[in-house]
Structure 1
Amino acid sequence: MANKRRQFDLQFKKDAVRYVELHPDISHEQCAMNLNIGRSTLSRWLKEASENGGEATFTGSGNYGNELEKENARLRRELKNTQDALDILKKAISILGD
């Protein structure tokens, strides 16, 4: 049975980043263990916070910063679906053409 991915709310992510900032004597790996999250997850949150001038936005899955990003994601999905359909049609034509 597959494990379900854990989801963290915005406040937890901000608190985790703050925890690392308040404990410079503890390694990031140990901080992640103390918070019961993966080291790579914590590193990603720290990177996102530093890229935004210390402000942790953490858009996450399905949460868009603005309408333009939302529209961009929709168009990317639509393009991928269209490309997949075209690939299927090309394969069908090559099979039927033989």
Structure 2
Amino acid sequence: MGTRKTYSAEFKRQAVQLATQPDHTVDEIARDLGIGRSTLSNWIRMAREHGELAFPGKGKARLTPEQEELKRLRKENELLRQERDILKSAAVCLGQNSTRMGLARWFAKHSK
């Protein structure tokens, strides 16, 4: 397996600029630059979606502050869902135990 080619942000911006001009097709530009059509298409999509924030160098496109906040909130939401599911399971287990030993005895045993 060969090493993966990397391209500078400037190269990607210039390729996108060339590909979005009306006198050339994406296929022509990709072939002339020696890159795949899908690669160039992905760069064009990233440039449209992220504008100046696209192609930060190595890694993924930088997120806007709103996107970062949304990502943080989604992660927090997932954690809260997991905690809720754990508590639901615990409540079911406690409910089964309380019916067997009597609710009053269970609370007396566990409230100490």
| TM-score, L = length of structure 2 | 0.49
Q: Which has the higher contact order (CA 8 A, sep 6+)?
A: 1
Q: Aligned partners of 1:64, 1:12: CA distance in 2, in Å?
A: 15
Q: 1:32 touches 1:39 (CA, 8 Å); kept in 2?
A: yes
Q: 1:32 touches 1:42 (CA, 8 Å); kept in 2?
A: yes
* Residues 63 and 44 of structure 1, relative CA distance in 2, 3 Å threshold: closer
Q: Aligned partners of 1:57, 1:9: CA distance in 2, in Å?
A: 12
Query: Is 1:6 aligned to 2:5, yes or no?
Result: yes
Cα RMSD of the aligned pairs, angstroms, is: 3.0
Aligned partner of 1:62 among 59, 63, 67: 59
Structure 2 unmatched runs, 5+: 76-112
Q: 1:48 touches 1:56 (CA, 8 Å); kept in 2?
A: no
Q: Aligned partners of 2:29, 2:47: CA distance in 1, in Å?
A: 16
Q: 1:17 touches 1:45 (CA, 8 Å); kept in 2?
A: yes
Aligned partner of 2:37 among 39, 43, 52: 39
Matches within 5 A, 1:67-78: none
Instruction: Kindly name which structure, 1 or 2, has the bigger radius of gyration based on alpha carbons.
Output: 2
* Residues 39 and 9 of structure 1, relative CA distance in 2, 3 Å threshold: same
Question: Aligned residues, how many?
Answer: 69
How far off is 1:16 after superposition?
0.5
Q: Aligned partners of 2:49, 2:61: CA distance in 1, in Å?
A: 17
Identity %: 37
Structure 1 unmatched runs, 5+: 76-98
More helix by share: 2
Q: Aligned partners of 1:49, 1:56: CA distance in 2, in Å?
A: 8
Q: Structure 2: which amino acid aligns with 1:58? A: F
